[in-house]
Amino acid sequence: DTGVSQDPRHKITKRGQNVTFRCDPISEHNRLYWYRQTLGQGPEFLTYFQNEAQLEKSRLLSDRFSAERPKGSFSTLEIQRTEQGDSAMYLCASSLAESGRRTGELFFGEGSRLTVL
């Protein structure tokens, strides 16, 4: 399968624990995005990378959240000291941005569902 893959698909944790999600984008895609989605709402933008550089972070991304894309390929999203309000689906997407051309469509993974007890 050459789509965007996310791991784990489901994570149940206790409040206060740290969790990490991984996203593997489509191989030639240089842009990678993280979103969060709660039940009944549209996805909310969190952050995005161009290659290894994190170019934008939403105000939703509190200090407990950190995202990395160390080699410009896969990315991780870590949440420290989880709270019940962090329970959500975390979606990753990738796209191809070429200089002088319009950024391509976003391809989304199936998401990582987090439940904080």
Partner 1 sequence: DAKTTQPNSMESNEEEPVHLPCNHSTISGTDYIHWYRQLPSQGPEYVIHGLTSNVNNRMASLAIAEDRKSSTLILHRATLRDAAVYYCILRDVAQGGKLIFGQGTELSVKP
Site residues (vs partner 1, CB under 8 A): 4, 31, 33, 35, 41-45, 48, 50, 55-56, 91, 93, 95, 97, 102-103, 105-111
Q: Encoding tokens for residue 4? A: 């965007």
The least distance separating partner 1 from the CB of residue 115, rounded to whole angstroms, comes to 15
Nearer to partner 1, 18 or 115 (CB): 115
Sequence-separated (6 or more) residues with CB below 8 Å from residue 106: 33, 93, 94, 95
Nearer to partner 1, 55 or 117 (CB): 55
The least distance separating partner 1 from the CB of residue 60, rounded to whole angstroms, comes to 12
CA distances from 72 to 35, 43, 109, 110, 113 (A): 18, 23, 17, 21, 24
Nearer to partner 1, 75 or 111 (CB): 111
The least distance separating partner 1 from the CB of residue 46, rounded to whole angstroms, comes to 10
| The residue count for the chain | 117
Nearer to partner 1, 92 or 116 (CB): 92
CB of 113 within 8 A of CB of 11?
Answer: yes
CA distances from 18 to 27, 30, 100, 103, 108 (A): 28, 28, 40, 34, 24
The least distance separating partner 1 from the CB of residue 78, rounded to whole angstroms, comes to 20
